[in-house]
Amino acid sequence: MIHWLPRPSGKLAPILLGFTLGLGAARAAEMRRPNILFIFSDDHAWQAISAYGSKLIQTPNIDRLAREGLRFDRCLVPNSLCGPSRATVLTGTYNHINGFFNNYNSRFDGSQTTFPKLLQEAGYQTAMIGKWHLVSDPTGFDYWDILPGQGQYYNPPMIRNGERLKRQGYVTEIITDLALDWLKQRDPSRPFLLMCQHKAPHRDWEPSLKYLTHDGDRQYPEPATLFDDYSGRGKAEHEQDMMIARTMNNRDLKLVPPGALTPEQRKIWDAYYEPRNEAFRQANPRGKALVRWKYNRYLHDYLGCIRSIDESVGRLLDYLHATGLDRNTIVVYSSDQGFFLGEHGWFDKRWIFEESLRTPLLVRWPGVVKPGGANKDMVANLDFAETFLEAAGVPVPARMQGRSLLPLLQGRTPADWRKSFYYHYYEHPAEHNVARQYGVVTDRYKLVHFYEPEFNYWELFDLKKDPQELKSVYGLPRYAKTQRDLEQELARLRATLKVPVQDPPGTVIGRPAAGRTTNPVR
């Protein structure tokens, strides 16, 4: 049995009690350092997890982590975009430090310090399986088996330790199978880090064929802002291109099938979608009726993908339990950022706004984390690397910009825990036409600057009075002091974090290619 006691430094000291006589030194060494299973999905909104109160879907296996561990209710991301978030997780740094600014032309520098490298050097077995999305090959892993680029849902090509191959089946199930295979074949005398990273539920939201009928043609409850007209906000919100009403294309809406299906898979796909598509064509909805049809088709597909994610989490947790590994394994579930599920009429992410900025974070660690708790402190994916390193007893490099979550996991919040958070989004002009922005977030307010010359304006939101972020109060006299305080805090954060005054040359991108939003259904 292991009891973890806090040292004065805040680190965890392993106290090993009650060992059976004859227990090998290698086994004891394994038990002194926790295994780490990091389960990471792509674009999984916290609004689509029942542990967070979702009315859209039940996620019993992900909820199990909340029931047996700790749910973080205010986990934020520094840049709400897939590749940049992954770079932050690996390095514990903002994108102006790790060099991965956007999905358009960034390439991860694999020579820089990452937490998997440091764990590997400390004797951990390390594996990366699933969606990588950082262009360069993974480094710091004994084994890697990744999707090239965004990957595809059906019969995906993959790259295993540099070898290209193609696998048959559904991507979430394949990634889970590979993760379980690696766990079964690993060296049981050493602790492990396994990063199991899913493609789902990323656009185009293509569910497993077995989950096509998962919702029984349900009509989903609509967000109050589905038909937002963006009054009370500025040019950036009006000129974005990520609306359910006008941006979704035929592939998104399953009016055309994926190209990678086998004939047998295509038969099942057509049996579900074609009768419904024909009914849509016959009805020929317009205006708000068309938006509602798109919204329901979108949620059917998106949530169908999450059914497989939840199933995957259950399979992994069941394996840990069956083998006894659960007693000394930290299990983390998170996503690379939040996602809009019709709020403001949007899908996708990118904004400092709440649905995009927040990401789910659930942590189970038997003997350390009290089961069933909820934490409201401001944490971030910036903190993951530091947490894993401290849990493993590995020094945290000074380069890293987050903080270990171990005190919070033990149920205590340090007096100097962050009260504000810096956000910076760079990818414009590119897909979805979301303007570059940086800002500061507190428990109640958001101050954001859309800083490109063609925009160059500020917004301030009072989350207590306006939780849906519908009206900027920037410039109103009654918020003058709050505005000054936030401007000062923003300047302090930028200086502390060493944010360049001008965006580095590597952030420069061209106009998006025309194909992604072609054939919109209007």
What confidence score (pLDDT) does residue 508 get? Answer: 87
The answer to whether the beta carbons of residues 117 and 88 sit under 8 Å apart is no
Q: Per the domain annotation, does 24 fall within a domain?
A: no
The answer to whether the beta carbons of residues 89 and 385 sit under 8 Å apart is yes
Token code pair at residue 155: 């019969």
Strand residue runs (E) in 371-456: 373-375, 379-380, 421-425, 437-441, 445-450
> Which of left, alpha, beta for 135 (phi over 0: left; psi -120 to 50: alpha)?
left
H/E/C letters for each residue in 131-159?
Answer: ECCCCCCCCCCCEEEEECCCCCCECCEEE
The answer to whether the beta carbons of residues 432 and 247 sit under 8 Å apart is yes
CATH number of the CATH domain containing 319: 3.40.720.10
What confidence score (pLDDT) does residue 506 get? Answer: 84
* Closest to 189 measured CA to CA, from 112, 123, 119: 123
- Helix, strand, coil percentages in the chain from 3-state DSSP, rounded to 5: 35, 20, 50
One digit per residue, pLDDT tens: the chain, 522 residues?
233 333 323 344 333 333 333 344 444 444 589 999 999 999 999 999 999 999 999 999 999 999 999 999 999 999 999 999 999 999 999 999 999 999 999 999 999 999 999 999 999 999 999 999 999 999 999 999 999 999 999 999 999 999 999 999 999 999 999 999 999 999 999 999 999 999 999 999 999 999 999 999 999 999 999 999 999 999 999 999 999 999 999 999 999 999 999 999 999 999 999 999 999 999 999 999 999 999 999 999 999 999 999 999 999 999 999 999 999 999 999 999 999 999 999 999 999 999 999 999 999 999 999 999 999 999 999 999 999 999 999 999 999 999 999 999 999 999 999 999 999 999 999 999 999 999 999 999 999 999 999 999 999 999 999 999 999 999 999 999 999 999 999 999 999 999 999 999 889 887 654 444 444 454
Cis peptide before 201 (omega within 30 of 0): yes
- What is the domain extent for residue 427? 33-522
Q: How many whole angstroms from its chain centre is CA 453?
A: 30
What confidence score (pLDDT) does residue 510 get? Answer: 72
Q: How many whole angstroms from its chain centre is CA 88?
A: 11
Q: Per the domain annotation, does 304 fall within a domain?
A: yes
What confidence score (pLDDT) does residue 122 get? Answer: 98
The answer to whether the beta carbons of residues 339 and 348 sit under 8 Å apart is yes
The answer to whether the beta carbons of residues 297 and 285 sit under 8 Å apart is no
What confidence score (pLDDT) does residue 3 get? Answer: 33
- The pTM for the full model equals 0.93
Q: Per the domain annotation, does 498 fall within a domain?
A: yes
Token code pair at residue 307: 């059914």
What confidence score (pLDDT) does residue 11 get? Answer: 40
Distance CA 368, CA 63 (A): 19
The answer to whether the beta carbons of residues 196 and 179 sit under 8 Å apart is yes
What confidence score (pLDDT) does residue 205 get? Answer: 98
Token code pair at residue 353: 């706004």
What confidence score (pLDDT) does residue 511 get? Answer: 63
Q: Per the domain annotation, does 4 fall within a domain?
A: no
Q: Per the domain annotation, does 108 fall within a domain?
A: yes
Q: Per the domain annotation, does 13 fall within a domain?
A: no
Which residue type occupies 239? E
What confidence score (pLDDT) does residue 110 get? Answer: 98
- For the chain, the domain total comes to 1
Token code pair at residue 494: 């930028």
Token code pair at residue 482: 């709050």
Q: Per the domain annotation, does 146 fall within a domain?
A: yes
In Å, how far are 31, 66, 309 from 43, measured between CA atoms? 34, 19, 12
Token code pair at residue 181: 């295979």
Distance CA 466, CA 461 (A): 7
The answer to whether the beta carbons of residues 334 and 75 sit under 8 Å apart is yes
DSSP 515: T
Q: Per the domain annotation, does 17 fall within a domain?
A: no
Distance CA 441, CA 419 (A): 9
The answer to whether the beta carbons of residues 347 and 316 sit under 8 Å apart is no
DSSP 12: E
What confidence score (pLDDT) does residue 233 get? Answer: 98
In Å, how far are 125, 195, 385 from 396, measured between CA atoms? 19, 19, 8
What confidence score (pLDDT) does residue 509 get? Answer: 83
Taking the CA atoms of 401, 406, 407 and 413 in sequence, report the sign of the dihedral they define: positive
Cis peptide before 241 (omega within 30 of 0): no
In order, the DSSP letters of 76-120 are: E-SS-SHHHHHHHHHHSS-HHHH----TTT----TTS--HHHHHH
